[in-house]
Structure 1
Amino acid sequence: MKVTLLLADAAQVSEGKLHILGGGWSVTGPPAPSAIALLVEVPWDQTNRRLEWRLELVDSDGYPVMTPDGEGGETAIVMGGEFEVGRPPGTPHGAPIAMPVALNLSPLPLASGSRYEWRFTIDGESRDDWRLTFSTR
């Protein structure tokens, strides 16, 4: 499976296309809305079945970044769910199917002068190039 991730100011999926505004940055601050644009290329043999995805924000030591949960505690910044990519009629045998995803985020309470990393997994599997690192001013 091939996954392309990009940090952006905003992103949107429309008619199967990924629209990215202000994409490709690696330094942010002060806290501002942001987005993660993903393009998941699902191999032919993994289409038409449910896959579980997860995106987690960790600090420079690899620990989950925690945020207030509104009830006096904290919770990790994690997103996830399931997806299933079907084969459109007429798709040549063996061709991967692209699935664009746009995740728009509210400003995150991140420490200044720090380094962070988004880690993406599918069915518990991750690869080095499925990570996005960035710093805060």
Structure 2
Amino acid sequence: MTVRITAFLADSAEALNGKLYVLGAGWDTIGATSFPAVHSRVAIGVIVHVGWNDTDIEHEVAVRLETEDGQPVPLGRNGAGDGSSVIGMIGHRFTATRGPLQRPGDDLAHPITFTINDLRLARAGGYSWVLTVDREIVHRLPMRVVQATQG
């Protein structure tokens, strides 16, 4: 498989018409005055670079969050907070289709965004956004959560 990922954290991101529209990109640290903390929004901008021989087949890109010791961090809950199941991973399926402007051997770029609202963080420390393509880990995006002083 020849699929590569370019990814970044942002305050907001949207994929539209083959492009990423992004606000507040490039950060890797969240400050919280107390724990557990709730961060209002984390957007992950992703460009999937699909190799020529991996076009015209369906791919699945997924993201999950882990602590620095590999423990999963819930991204939310299904349902209305009534004890429903925890969301541990979110994903996107797509097929990169060769267009008339591509030449044999070209990679195709497919932009995706993932948005997590009200992310609950139990403690300060290192975290890692794990991105998979077709269930293989292809990228880790580090994130740090620090104790911030009020002021």
Whether TM-score is above 0.5 comes out as yes
Deviation at 1:89, TM superposition (A): 1.3
How high is the TM-score relative to the length of structure 2?
0.81
| Larger Rg, first or second structure (1 or 2) | 2
Distance 1:95 1:60 in 2: 36
1:65 aligned partner: 73
Higher strand share: 2
2:110 aligned partner: 99
Distance 1:8 1:75 in 2: 24
1:133 aligns with one of 139, 142, 149: 142
Distance 1:99 1:56 in 2: 19
Matched residue count = 135
CA contact (8 A) 1:65 1:76 kept: no
1:2 aligned partner: 4
Distance 1:68 1:45 in 2: 36
How high is the TM-score relative to the length of structure 1?
0.88
Distance 1:71 1:35 in 2: 26
2:40 aligns with one of 26, 32, 44: 32
Distance 1:7 1:122 in 2: 18
CA contact (8 A) 2:65 2:75 kept: no
Give percent identity, aligned residues only. Answer: 33
User: Alpha carbon RMSD of aligned pairs, Å?
Assistant: 1.8
Distance 1:118 1:108 in 2: 13
Gaps of 5+ in 2: 33-38, 147-151
2:31 paired with 1:23 = no
CA contact (8 A) 1:11 1:37 kept: yes
1:50 aligned partner: 58
Deviation at 1:74, TM superposition (A): 5.5
Deviation at 1:3, TM superposition (A): 0.4
- Closer, same or farther: CA 76–115 of 1 in aligned 2, 3 Å: farther
